[in-house]
Structure 1
Amino acid sequence: MGKLQADDTTSMLRPVTATGPAEPLWMRAPARDDEGRPLSDFMMLIPRLGKRPVEQMRQILREIEAVLCAYQHAVVFADMNLKLNVLWVTVRPIPGICLELPAALKVRVPEAMLVASRHE
């Protein structure tokens, strides 16, 4: 996984890649790993994140980034949409990761809520 960045102009937390911010999420989020195995993903809602004062918002994004970096062995893709206040994370199919990682995020960002998870 590449370095994650918070980009104020595109309102996203994402791996640094050549993909443009205008592409839909389904085009950017991988569904399979390099060996063709299906990946899992989950979505978390962080209420009113995009409407918070800039420094508070940046601090929350740093907390999210710290957790995602701690789980870089599992995280394949992450996208933070500040307009929708939704964090989308795609992970390797590691048993329990779609509960463990959201729980770790919730410890650092208590208002974060797990909305959905999917495993093929």
Structure 2
Amino acid sequence: MEPVYFDRTYYVGPRGEGYSKVYALLHAALSQADKVGIAAFVLRGKQHLTPLRAEDKVVVLQTLRWADEVRDPGRELPELPSGPRPGRARSWTRRSSWSTLSAARGTQAGITTRTRKRCLS
């Protein structure tokens, strides 16, 4: 997923002692699978679709921008050269914990209408 779609980063922790085991299980599952989880949560009255990933000892949540919230650089800067960006092919083959989100861009576009209507209402 392109970094331009990431909005804000939050650290997630257990709500209390009773949730420590569940939190540890989530962190371990994300770490061992080397994948991200997708979650929906509400912040300040607005629902967000977010990736969850495990770092050293904490689970990290990042809010995402919707596709229509990201400006098209071709429209904003018409003097930019056209053509493929250098290194683009390599970036798709690079393996990282975020590689599973490469499909999320298409998934996000497919569920944008239904989910966004629910989130914004």
With the shorter chain as reference, the TM-score category is: under 0.3
Determine which structure has more spread, i.e. the larger CA radius of gyration: 2
TM-score (norm 1): 0.25
Which has more helix, going by share of residues? 2
Instruction: Say which structure, 1 or 2, has more relative contact order (CA 8 Å, 6+ apart).
Output: 1
TM-score (norm 2): 0.25
